[in-house]
């Protein structure tokens, strides 16, 4: 029984690896285009020709990076809990531990998504925060 579970999980990992990492081409971007994209996502504006960053742009970039890292942590926790559950082999305590990890990771993801929504709303309503948002002086 254990050998069959290991074989199934090994094939699952191999197939998932091929789907995620196999056969895709990677196109590198310059640093300026990545920073421009981050600032546009955060609701700010960025001019490639100038190196002036406003405080609002810097804060938005920091928030985006932190939320991105939290999303990565969620994926790692889900993979860990899935492997833990697959290798439980009928051990109820290990299955319960995996279920708790999945539940807590899902709650954490919900909190991260809500934090993103709140920061997006705030940055859009600050004066000069977004391109069309805010009620700042013209």
User: Is 41 domain-assigned?
Assistant: no
- pLDDT of 131 > 60? The answer is no
User: Is 58 domain-assigned?
Assistant: yes
- pLDDT of 114 > 70? The answer is yes
pLDDT at residue 92, rounded to an integer:
93
Angstrom distances, CA of residue 61 to CA of 31, 74, 121, 127: 14, 20, 15, 18
**54 or 130: whose pLDDT is higher?**
54
User: Is 14 domain-assigned?
Assistant: no
User: Is 127 domain-assigned?
Assistant: yes
> What domain range includes position 58?
1-6+53-132
pLDDT in tens, 66-100: 888 888 899 999 999 999 999 998 899 999 999 99
- State the total domains in the chain: 1
* Sole residue written with tokens 């197939």: 15
**116 or 57: whose pLDDT is higher?**
116
d(CA 126, CA 133): 7
User: Is 60 domain-assigned?
Assistant: yes
- pLDDT of 16 > 70? The answer is no
User: Is 59 domain-assigned?
Assistant: yes
């Amino acid at each position: 029984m254990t050998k069959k579970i290991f074989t199934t999980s090994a094939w699952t990992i191999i197939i998932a690896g091929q789907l995620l990492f196999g056969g895709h081409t990677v196109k590198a971007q310059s640093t300026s285009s990545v920073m421009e994209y981050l600032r546009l996502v955060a609701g700010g504006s960025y001019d490639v020709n100038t190196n002036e960053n406003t405080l609002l742009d810097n804060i938005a970039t920091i928030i985006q990076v932190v939320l991105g890292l939290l999303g990565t942590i969620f994926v790692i926790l889900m993979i860990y809990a899935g492997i833990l559950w697959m290798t439980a082999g009928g051990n109820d305590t290990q299955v319960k531990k995996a279920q708790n990890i999945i539940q807590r990771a899902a709650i954490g993801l919900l909190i991260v998504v809500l934090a993103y929504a709140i920061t997006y709303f705030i940055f859009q309503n600050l004066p000069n925060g977004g391109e069309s948002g805010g009620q700042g002086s013209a």
